[in-house]
Structure 1
């Protein structure tokens, strides 16, 4: 099928998202009875559900199911993955609250409709309607030890206790903790309508409340600034505070029943476990899973294995995400200025934080000896080094020489481009003043400058060093591409610098092939051959600013991402665009792994890093040039919505252990999607095709001797029901030759044999045995079969069947080999 006829991308398919852990939705705890845990020991991903058609608005869970609301609809997942129940079209507006009480599910929408469902039968048995102007439902709670009771809270401050079985409004009989938008926390006896005690937190509305159940009477309260407060209910005082527990609002805090552990999650894409083991009720961070709290702006694969992706986020952090397992993720932290000086000056940690990283360069060749990452911060003059192995900020601050005029931050000079040499010893940094400098990474010493006095008249917009440390290439705001000698730092342009049609915005080099890719401000892409210093390709097609470029490992493809929401693949040998697809949000950075199996991308207003699998790695793809009027299709980000051809099958509600232990019982359950091999020994069939050669090779050198007579008690007569598959190679050869006779027409016997082989292929049984029989059969009768129209038609039908089955097998083999190679590379 031509590339322009497919939907979406012909080259890439969505694989999965990295670095997504939490959002503004409160978490729910689910106790696993068999494992006797809440899955907080490692905070690892246990299961990933099937995708829903929209964003989830709220969650609830019991011991069997997980409920999720999407718009006005509710879905129930079994085993945290499969949709088994659907509650559709009952609500007319978005559902924003869910509560589970035993076999009962309570749901409330924005219009004041509260529905009660019976989970086993999926039937609605109670409907309550509230007027949002007088009672806008804002919270649902189930008082402990009270059967079939639900407490409904409103944004107006009123509370109502309802019996879901009798549909009656009841007086409350318990004390409830209530958090208000004003920051007040009330412990209120609702039956007596009396406030027992109250607290006030200074950092705004109360977003969550939780009570400790392992002994000490402590209440935890969270706020919109990410702070936590812990109150002693006996002494009625503040015990301790946990400042900056999260970088944004605390969505939910839950004390684990009977344990000194507190689980929190926030809108900052973090989920954390705190332990209370110190005196005074002070909490210590036990473990966490964190991603970027602001969208990542620049990503690159680190190392030659392609397993780790370095990501710089707008939150100012530098993180590493593993494509193998999340336990290999690293956080290199947030950049900060000189901590020793700040301590002397009495500054806080927030006051010494550096701005977000705009771009970086990394090299793993010498990262075990010194810092291997150099990052540029927004508006900062100096570049900073980072150490990947120690997961810390490095010790060097690479700033322009002090004797250079107009080099400081006061003159609005900042770093704009960076590249580390392949040996890991040097780094080249460009500045907005047009200067281009080289530094030693081990010592951080300035080793020289390119140009006299500057490399470019405008800001340096891109720099790269070839693989042998012989030449340095730079582009600037003056629209020039310059080539420099690495050692002497002199011009290496015999014909002068290359004048570009428009000022460049970035520069990328494929070191093995020597091809330079330059993105220009006129939205075009230019490919320059560094040997001939000539423009060899010019690509047009983007309608928005080009955000990033990446080469394929063999240098054949150039992949570009633009603000027009497209990701395009350009074939350099043919000079054509061979693949293009649109994303829901524009990709701001892309990086293809060193082995070419995955393309990673980060997008506008998205906290995750998305992996796209390269189809050409595990299947044959014919890429053709796309026409000039090609209209790309929009492809959903991995995991954001289900595929159009995906059919989620409903299954009945069963016990979790029974569902987990379910397995295939027979081959028929596989719907003939697998192929079985014969269980006969290879000596029975493997050499059928070369039986003549085997017989000649095995002829005895001496006449055979007569065997001794067998004892009288051993049977010498074969059974009465011989089986065709029990024959040896010589017997099979004899039987096949007996299908043809000189006594009359024999096509019916030949057709019968071909039908037998077709039946074996249809049932996909003894696939290798059928191939051996068919090879010997065609060797004997191919000329005779070609003269009979019936057998020719049968052979053509058999050929189509064989090609179909082999294509399916080859695809399965390729996928298995790709997965095996990926697993082996992950273990190295």
Structure 2
């Protein structure tokens, strides 16, 4: 079998949550727009944001590999990926590609009409931007001068300053390709070189946490600072008023330095949760933009009383791969994502402008916020592992409950207020080592039921956080071992608990003393998922199988087997027709519940850790191991005709799909994959289908159904009052009988083109249809005659057939031709109902004439044979379909 490359049901759409990586951002002022444009790397792509509203403007095309560095000038944004450099305009238009390096590129610098680049082999190349050619190449020995930084001091014509890992600096004239001067340095690796507002002065950040302002003209030290907040990773100058130097550190702190007083001006601790990758102060504006590898981009404004900066706008996403994702609300627009950084995020599937960060879980939220603690805050709680929510009472009180890793505390969150709630739910009687394992918020939003590792199940009130009961009798234990799943029904009448003791217990919601039913399971349950509208409960078992239980009848209705690893997550679709599951074997399976079969399976690059199906059925959201993004897969059944067939898990080639990207794929390629993977039959026209099957004409039933009863219809529809006779057409303009008024002038135009009056040459009584019929000799001619009859009304068809008799102005030849036309139509397997109807009317109208004429009787025998063969074929197909339907009903 050929290897498949796509899923039957799902197609990769896009990824959410990417904002920034470790690559420093690029800030460019666009005079035509009147704003500063920010570009941030997000792996193989880069985003373009506008500073005015901080919204996403565009996404670049995909690079062959991750972007290693970015720079920009007023015309282009330059990105380096692997051994090539790409020049982009307007954020998404690729204009130039620069090739020539044999290693990955680590540094770039636009220098007038040239672009300077340095690769990992320590080779410096200068490209002509327009011509894409190398105009200069200078190799360096790593042991002598390993280049780490590059900058251009203002007023130094054609000169660049290079910093090295050995601590020395070199000033080169690129126009003459000569070394101008060598600075001995400070015996420490040069991390950053940035020209200062003062002429001839350059700020140099060293690996020993020193910041040196050095005069290049006189090779003299101007001033020196010691950075006590980690290594300096970014540096910029703010020149509005008092000269200020701003530095970002590897610990995420931002420090401003007063250059006149030579001291620290202000500090912003934990401005980012990771190293500050890029920092730019805007020209002529009290603004500063920073980005970090914690997946955030922030805009700061210097308007504090002490001269410090405050956060003005930000865009951020999960700093670590998320643990859990679920849709919230009925519109399917928003996703609730739990990250391993103990934060909750709201991600909008329509526009990233509506993305929000609900904050980090803390044991004392006010204390953490007041002290502005960093990621090392001891009050920060472990990551969220499980969520449950109900939006019914979201505006009155907290609507989200979350379980944290290895904790028995359960936190509440407010989706409406977009922050952590005030309640931390603590069950009574728990000892050290007992942790919360599962939870569910009831459909009314008033209660949350929590299961624990010691077998206890507790109920809390969401509004007040008060404990409202414990499942079980005197011992207050619902199960003898850990509780693996807790669910409730749609009307809050029942509660279902599943434990590691292989028991599934059903409780009345108002009576928690004893379960009213207990089901013994064959395998231990690892997790549960309930679709309340259909009363179906899915159990993910530890033997990698899935069991579906009807909670109304307390019976097992389906069992699915096919995964080869631990099941990470399961979810129903909005109609409870599919069950979608993910496993550590990197597969995502779709099970058809009514038929009990596997209908779709595909493998991803990394195992899926969590998934959620949209309440509208349009997208499947997934998270994967080691990736901070949330991936959306489009449901093909919403816009295509897909034929789903059962799949044998072990006898087919499982397609391996790449994770969705930020840019759409080639539409032509998608069409090819759709046809190949979904195994849709190629489109066949009615003519092609008629070669095997009998087809109908698609004509309205009024055109053929009542042809035998037209006299009754006319009598029933006869008006009670006499009709007004319309003005008739001139006698010399012959008309064609049809639904629209048409004049039969073609023939007379040919023969009497010079005559002003349209006078027929003969006084033939045959109609236009009869004349066409008499002149027909081939199947194609007869098909044209059938098309003419299709355009006529029922009354006109009756008139045409009745006028074929010799005593009505017709002839035997016309009647014979009409029978030949019917025989041809029946043999072609097309227009079956029309041929039968026309034949019935013909026999009813001309029975006497047919019995008297042998030629008509002979023609009628051929028509009878064709009709009998058609009916036999139709009966065979009908009986086959009836048997299939009956067999499916009996299953």
Q: TM-score range by the shorter chain?
A: 0.7 to 0.9
Deviation, 1:394, is 1.5
Q: Does the residue aligned with 1:327 lie in a helix, a strand or coil?
A: helix
Deviation of 1:589 after TM superposition, in Å, equals 0.7
Q: Secondary structure at 1:351's aligned position in 2?
A: coil
- CA displacement, residues 323-357 of structure 1 (integer Å, 9 cap, x when unaligned): 12222222211122245789999999923222221
Structure 1 residues 732 and 357, CA, compared in 2 at 3 Å: closer, same or farther? farther
Structure with larger RCO (C-alpha < 8 A, sep 6+): 1
Paired residue secondary structure (1:257): coil
Aligned partner of 2:610 in structure 1 is 589
1:654-669 pair list within 5 angstroms: none
Equivalence for 2:265: 239
Structure 1 counterpart of 2:485, from 459, 462, 479: 462
8 Å Cα contact 1:498-1:533 kept in structure 2: no
The question of 1:386 aligning with 2:413 is answered yes
Separation in 2 of the partners of 1:635 and 1:563? 16
Conserved in 1, the CA contact under 8 Å of 2:368 and 2:377?
no
Distance of 2:774 and 2:789 partners within structure 1: 23
2 CA distance for matches of 1:546 and 1:638? 22
User: Is 1:559 aligned to 2:610, yes or no?
Assistant: no
Structure 1 length-normalised TM? 0.78
* Aligned pair partner of 1:319 in 345, 350, 369: 345
In 2: Cα distance, 1:6 partner to 1:782 partner:
54
The corresponding residue for 1:9 is: 7
Secondary structure, aligned partner of 2:28: coil
Question: Which residue among 565, 572, 575 is the counterpart of 1:544?
Answer: 565
1:119 partnered with 2:129: yes
Identify which of 479, 484, 489 aligns with 2:502. 479
2:630 is the counterpart of 1:632? no
Structure 1 residues 275-354: aligned runs within 5 Å: 275-338=301-364, 350-354=377-381
Deviation at 1:8, TM superposition (A): 2.2
| Residues 280-332 of structure 1 deviation map (CA, whole Å, 9 limit, x = unaligned) | 32111001011111111011111111111111111011111111222222221
Secondary structure class of the residue paired with 2:55:
coil
The secondary structure found in structure 1 opposite 2:67 is: coil
Does the 8 A contact of 2:280 with 2:289 survive in 1? yes
Superposed counterparts of 1:187-206, under 5 Å: 187-206=213-232
Whole-angstrom CA distance in 1 between matches of 2:653 and 2:111: 51
- 1:423 is displaced (CA, Å) by 0.8
SS of the equivalent of 2:14 reads: strand
- Structure 1: 5+ residue runs without aligned partners? 649-686, 708-727, 755-771, 796-828
> Does the 8 Å CA contact 2:343/2:358 hold for their aligned counterparts?
yes
Change (3 A) 1:794 1:217: farther
TM-aligned CA deviation for residue 746 of structure 1? 6.6
Look up the match of 1:681.
none
Q: Which residue of 2 aligns with 1:355?
A: 382
Could you tell which deviates more after superposition, 27-36 or 172-181?
Answer: 172-181
CA contact (8 A) 2:59 2:662 kept: no
Aligned counterparts of 2:463 and 2:58: Cα–Cα separation in 1: 44
Q: Is the 1:581–1:633 contact (alpha carbons within 8 Å) kept by the matching residues of 2?
A: yes
Which residue does the alignment assign to 1:183? 209
Q: What corresponds to 2:530 in structure 1? A: 509
- Post-superposition shift, 1:513? 1.7
- Give the match for residue 578 of structure 1: 599
Distance 1:139 1:792 in 2: 81
Q: In the alignment, which residue of structure 2 is the partner of 1:718? A: none
Pair 1:399–1:735, CA change in 2 (3 A): farther
Paired position in structure 2 for 1:665? none
The answer to whether the 8 A contact 2:59-2:663 is kept is no
Change (3 A) 1:95 1:793: farther
Deviates more, 1:158-167 or 1:253-262: 158-167
Matched, 1:274 2:296: no
Match of 1:260 among 255, 271, 286: 286
Distance 1:253 1:423, change over 3 A: same
Secondary structure of 2:378's counterpart equals helix
Assess if the C-alpha contact under 8 Å between 1:526 and 1:537 holds in 2: yes
**Contact 2:82/2:104 (<8 A) preserved:** yes
Q: Is the 8 A contact 2:508 2:516 kept in 1?
A: no
Pairing partner for 1:527 from 528, 548, 568: 548
In structure 1, the residue matched to 2:673 is: none
Q: Distance in 2 between matches of 1:598 and 1:783?
A: 57
Alpha-carbon distance, 1:150 to partner: 2.9
Which stretch has the larger CA shift, 101-110 or 773-782?
A: 773-782
Instruction: Work out which of the two has the higher radius of gyration on C-alpha atoms and give 1 or 2.
Output: 2
1:607 pairs with 2:633: no
Q: What's the secondary structure of 1:433's corresponding residue?
A: coil
> Does the CA contact (< 8 Å) of 2:461 and 2:467 recur in 1?
yes
CA deviation profile, 1:167-201 (whole Å, cap 9, x unmatched)? 23234993211111221111112333222111111
1:99 maps to 2:148: no
- Equivalent position SS for 2:29: coil
2:772, 2:240 → 1: CA distance? 94
C-alpha separation in 2, matches of 1:178 and 1:438: 61
In structure 1, how many angstroms separate the alpha carbons of the residues matched to 2:159 and 2:177? 10
Q: 1:145 deviation in Å?
A: 4.3
Q: Distance in 2 between matches of 1:79 and 1:787?
A: 68
User: Is the alpha carbon distance of 1:468 and 1:193 closer, same or farther for their aligned partners in structure 2, counting shifts above 3 Å?
Assistant: same
Contact 1:481/1:500 (CA < 8 Å) preserved in 2? no
Partner of 1:229: 255
The answer on 1:157 being equivalent to 2:167 is yes
- 2:588 and 2:19 map into 1 onto residues whose CA distance is 26
Q: Call closer, same or farther: CA 1:732–1:175 in 2, change over 3 Å.
A: farther
Please state whether the residue corresponding to 2:637 is helix, strand or coil: helix
Note if contact 1:421-1:465 (Cα within 8 Å) is conserved in structure 2.
Answer: yes
Give the Cα separation in 1 of the matches to 2:616 and 2:745.
Answer: 53
CA distance 1:69–1:557, shift in 2 (3 Å): same
Once residues 553 and 829 of structure 2 are traced to their aligned partners in structure 1, the CA distance between those partners, rounded to angstroms, is 59
Distance (Å, rounded) in 2 between the aligned partners of 1:95 and 1:543: 42
Aligned to 1:78: 89
Matched positions, count = 710
Change over 3 Å in CA distance of 1:745–1:273 after alignment to 2: same
1:732 is displaced (CA, Å) by 8.3
Shift of 1:792: 8.6
Question: 1:26 aligns to what SS in structure 2?
Answer: coil
Q: Deviations over 1:461-506 (max 9, x none)?
A: 1111111111111111222211111111244454x332232x2211
What TM-score do the two structures reach when normalised by structure 2?
0.73
Give the alignment partner of residue 730 of structure 1, picking from 741, 747, 755.
Answer: 741
The Cα shift of 1:788 comes to 8.4
Q: Give the CA RMSD over aligned residues.
A: 3.9
**Shift, 1:640, TM fit:** 6.4
Structure 1 range deviating more: 438-447 or 235-244: 438-447
- State how far apart, in whole Å, the 1-side matches of 2:128 and 2:327 are: 50
User: Do the aligned partners of residues 13 and 446 (structure 1) sit closer, same or farther apart at CA in structure 2, a change above 3 Å counting?
Assistant: same
SS at 2:30 equivalent: coil
Deviation by residue 1:790-828 (Cα, 9 ceiling, x = unmatched): x99999xxxxxxxxxxxxxxxxxxxxxxxxxxxxxxxxx
- Aligned equivalent of 1:166: 176
1:46 aligns with 2:44: no
In the TM superposition, residue 45 of structure 1 has moved relative to its aligned partner by 0.6
Which residue of 2 is the match for residue 30 of structure 1?
Answer: 28
Q: Which runs of 5+ in 2 are unaligned?
A: 37-49, 183-198, 671-699, 711-716, 730-738, 748-766, 798-816, 832-891
For the Cα contact (< 8 Å) 1:181–1:204, is it kept in 2? Answer: no
